[in-house]
Amino acid sequence: MELNYTTAQQAFRAEVRAWLAANVPATPLASFDTEEGFQQHRAWEARPNEGRWGMLTSYRAHPSESSERTIPCRAPVARLDSIERPRRASPRTASARPISGPRSDDMLTPKQIQAQMALYVQLVDAGDIDGILALYAPDATVEDPVGTPVHQGIDAIARFYREGLGRSRARASLEGAVRATHNGYGAVPFRVELDWDGRHCSIEVIDVMEFDTEGCIRSMRAYWGEPNLTMRDLS
């Protein structure tokens, strides 16, 4: 039995997490047993409805409200089939991976590419190398930074991440919106903070990725250089 998430499922999870991060109240709501808390909970539960992520069931008036001021019931409005999900993967063949040209119906949408690239940054931040490798196609390439030797194939890419990220206690955070196209390309600006050889390094990076029709990373090129690197001794 395969218990790991597929690339498409990981993209959908990232999309849900991004929505929650942007919408969950920053402070706890007041008790539902109070007038203030009742109104806060009612307002919050409408948010998933507005975002098409959930549904609202019947409401009754709070005990403190008069019988004339009842809240009408709402029918469920968020249907699971109304939520955009990653497309089903197609067979993995070289011919199924267009390099350029107009978008194919089998390719990821720009929104799905944004979710995949945001997930990549989250996995770098978590130091989850196995999770990162699961995003790559078996014959993918990595050029990090651009101008250095290319790592070809999943074994070479695994060595690159384990010898670098695996030894550096890296943290990563987005520095702006993920840019995405309709034909399988995206660019993500982010910052990596890491400890290396007794020094703290801060690197401003832009990763450009190409995705195949299965939603896997076909190539990754990292744009950064000396002007984007800050180092200081660990105190």
CA separation for the pair 216, 113 (Å, rounded): 10
C-beta separation of 193 from 126 below 8 A: no
To 10 degrees, the CA torsion angle through 66, 67, 69, 75? 140
Residue 206 belongs to what H/E stretch? strand 199-211
According to DSSP, the residues that pair with 172 across neighbouring strands are: 192
Q: Which residues contact 183 (CB under 8 A, 6 or more apart)?
A: 98, 100, 101, 102, 103, 104, 107
More confident residue, 78 or 214: 214
Q: What is the pLDDT of residues 128-147, one digit of tens each?
A: 999 999 999 999 999 999 99
**Catalytic residue (one of 105, 125, 144, 197):** 144
Is 144 designated active site?
Answer: yes
Residue of 234, 159, 145 lying closest to 197 (CA atoms) = 234
**Catalytic residue (one of 105, 106, 120, 128):** 120
Give me the domains of the chain, ranges plus CATH numbers.
7-82 (no CATH), 102-233 (3.10.450.50)
Q: Is the pTM of this model over 0.75?
A: no
Is 139 designated active site?
Answer: no
Q: What is the pLDDT of residues 151-207, one digit of tens each?
A: 999 999 999 999 988 877 889 999 999 999 999 999 999 999 988 777 889 999 999
